[in-house]
Structure 1
Amino acid sequence: MPIEFIGYVSAREQTEILDPTGPSVDAAYIAATALLHERAGFDRALIAFHSTSPESLQIAQHAASVTSRLGLLVAHRPGFTAPTLAARQFATLDNLTGGRVAMHVITGGNDRELQADGDNLTKAERYARTAEYLQIIRREWEGGAPFDHDGRFYRIRGAQSSVLPRHRGSIPIYFGGASEEALAVAGQYADGYALWGEPLRGAEELVNRVRAAARAHGRTLRFSISFRPIIADTEGQAWERAAEIEAQLRARQAEEGDATGIALDRAGQRPTDGTLPTNEGSRRLQAIAAKGARHDECLWTGVAQATGGRWNSTSLVGTPDQVAESLLRYYRLGIETFLIRGFDPLSDAILYGRELIPRVRALVEKEDGCRRRAG
């Protein structure tokens, strides 16, 4: 089956070990990062969303304007835009980019952060709203006659769009969330399910749960997993780099002190009662990190430990061959998409394009060839 690599394009350079540089919307950095990912062989790039961040669709539009092949996976939170308008916004960008857009639906992870945008619903209510939201979006993307909708969160009369997705019928919808509510919505409405990097056993268990949720609706999903690969010429050098990253992160947190609230909210900040993620995916990472920093052959949770499992924060550490073999093991679980980004965004993306992506593609091609001959 075809594999896919997703990178990461942000509005400016910033990671757990790099302070923000440049303006909050750095057009030159966005363009350079998008072009770099395209030339490195990535299939898509994720554009993130946060209550304090620049608007994701507009960042995606700028990234698309300087590239010709790179797909854009645009993070989107249901509830802040009317679903009919969101459907037209994504369909418009999809047409402008020649069909390169996908939606990554994020229902929410931290209640206080969501409240900064005026969202005070409970978790269960948010997922119920997301289900209704995606139902409306998919209906508008289908085209046809005007339609009405009477639901718990939306009451719509005569909805119809003159702009439809480039590939008629839909835009790919990726979905994140590991709670039972999330899995139920993903199984019914998503095309792809995204999980954060976990040990193989936990990843397999979650994939099987999502498959069961989708099977209940007669559907199948694509699976994506996220990692922060740390690769070097030797295994020892790779683990030395991992130790350096953790030391830099801990030092930055010590300088930061006991800042609270979400106003600071930068990558790598020390988790507090107000910023500690409460979503099920982060709780899974917190539990994994609590068992130790190293899992399986080369999974490392040092950054997840320091940040409370915030965001994509687990790493695969080793030589390019070792990390590629680890990704192949996840592929064998049925995971076809790998979202990879580094702690030094530009240099790591170049490194992945040269040393990691070709190796994984070659391993998968060989694996599929063996399966075909055996079958």
Structure 2
Amino acid sequence: MSLHITGMIWARPTSDLEVQEGAAFQPDFINHITRLHEEGDFDRVLAGYWTNAADGFLVLAQAATAVKRLNFLLAHRPGFVSPTLAARKLATLDQLTGGRLALHVISGGEDIDQRKDGDHADHGARYRRTDEFLDILRRIWTAEGPIDHAGEFYRFEQAWSDIRPVQKPYLPIFFGGASDIALRVAARHADVYALFGEPLAETSAMLDRVRAASSGDHVPAFSWSNRPIIGATEKQAWEKAHDYRRRAIAKLESNGTQGLIPAGQAVNSQRLVSLAQRGEVLDERLWTAMAGVLGGRGNSTALVGTAEQVARSLLRYRGLGVSHFILRGWDPLPDVAQYGSELIPLVRELAKAEDVGRVSVSLHAAAE
């Protein structure tokens, strides 16, 4: 099975542990954190979507100037940019990066956050809109002549794009969402289905749900997100984890937040908070406490241990069928450097050894 490791970049220094400072767009920082990922042998970096942050299209355009090999993943919320324009913007960025772009579609799980950008569609409507949006993107990218469209959310006439993606016929689509309607849309469009960092049993059950919703000729690959905390010893890793929790709570208090952030509206947020309520540590080293602090928002669970312990835990998810991992640090720059020097080489080495072992077993069985 293939193995793909994705990191995350921002337009300025960003952490759940420290108050953000400095300009909202810092090209030198973008270049630095992107180069760290390439030097650390990550396959791809994700530029996320926030309603208060720099535009991800331009963040990745800047990042592309800093590296030659690294691939890119752009988080995008349908509904704010016409799909005909989005198709041209995405194709342009794919051309700019030399065919190294993938699209991470975020339909939006929080009504309040969506309204910050003027979107008042409800949860179900957002996923129906995403379905229509992705249909249109692919038609624009593959059309042999101008096209018309009249749907529930979009209507246009004689749309055409001179610019097309380098990748044919279209960009890879990453997709997330745990609701039933999200799974139906994922079954139609996702090349990679993205999960948050849940325990093995819950992850296996979600993979089964996605496979059941997918047609036999199209089952997506799977991505699993986590924020590992690594120490020279297991004891040191747990000490670091507890210090991170203390610092995260101190940051919330400095921003005027009293107590922990409540669970959000999104199904995935609620699932992560429920894990924190069930136990602080699950599956031996999956630490859920930060999900409780942050209300389950974003990627907020952590595998805690030595590099080898965390690597072997990641491979247990690979054994379930996960081939992509999104690994984001709590203290981004030092964590990215540590992942690159300690964790990623070990994950790749152990995965290769597992694959060789499986081939040897298969060949031995065939010979008998």
Query: Partner of 1:263 in structure 2?
Result: none
Query: Partner of 2:267 in structure 1?
Result: 280
Alpha-carbon distance in structure 1 between the residues aligned to 2:68 and 2:160? 30
1:205 aligns with 2:205: yes
> CA offsets, 1:199-235, max 9 Å, x none?
000001111111122226x312111111110001100
Aligned residues of 1:231 and 1:317 also touching (Cα < 8 A):
yes
1:320 aligns with 2:300: no
Q: Equivalences for 1:125-164 in 2 at 5 Å?
A: 125-164=125-164
Aligned residues of 1:143 and 1:164 also touching (Cα < 8 A):
no
Ranges in structure 2 where 5+ consecutive residues have no aligned partner: 363-368
Query: Partner of 1:265 in structure 2?
Result: none
Q: Equivalences for 1:1-375 in 2 at 5 Å?
A: 1-215=1-215, 218-258=217-257, 270-271=260-261, 276-375=263-362
SS state at 2:312 partner: helix
Shift of 1:270: 4.5
Q: TM-score, normalised by structure 2?
A: 0.96
Alpha-carbon distance in structure 1 between the residues aligned to 2:301 and 2:243? 15
Shift of 1:63: 0.4
SS state at 2:214 partner: helix
Comparing 67-76 and 249-258, the one that deviates more:
249-258
> CA offsets, 1:283-342, max 9 Å, x none?
110111110110002100111011110100000000000000000000001100111011
Shift of 1:254: 2.7
Q: Which amino acid aligns with 2:22?
A: G
Aligned residues of 2:261 and 2:292 also touching (Cα < 8 A):
no
Alpha-carbon distance in structure 2 between the residues aligned to 1:311 and 1:167? 29
Q: Which amino acid aligns with 1:24?
A: A
Q: Which amino acid aligns with 2:352?
A: E
SS state at 2:50 partner: coil
Query: Partner of 2:366 in structure 1?
Result: none
Alpha-carbon distance in structure 2 between the residues aligned to 1:8 and 1:224? 14
SS state at 1:372 partner: helix
SS state at 2:335 partner: helix
Shift of 1:251: 2.0
Alpha-carbon distance in structure 2 between the residues aligned to 1:238 and 1:171? 38
Aligned residues of 2:329 and 2:336 also touching (Cα < 8 A):
yes
Shift of 1:156: 2.0
Shift of 1:161: 1.2
Alpha-carbon distance in structure 2 between the residues aligned to 1:55 and 1:196? 23
Sequence identity percentage: 44
Alpha-carbon distance in structure 1 between the residues aligned to 2:321 and 2:10? 29
Ranges in structure 1 where 5+ consecutive residues have no aligned partner: 260-268
Structure 1 residue ranges, 4+ long, deviating more than 6 angstroms after superposition:
none
Aligned residues of 2:18 and 2:247 also touching (Cα < 8 A):
no
Alpha-carbon distance in structure 2 between the residues aligned to 1:143 and 1:56? 26
> CA offsets, 1:132-185, max 9 Å, x none?
000000111113122222211111211221111102201011001111111110
Query: Partner of 1:262 in structure 2?
Result: none
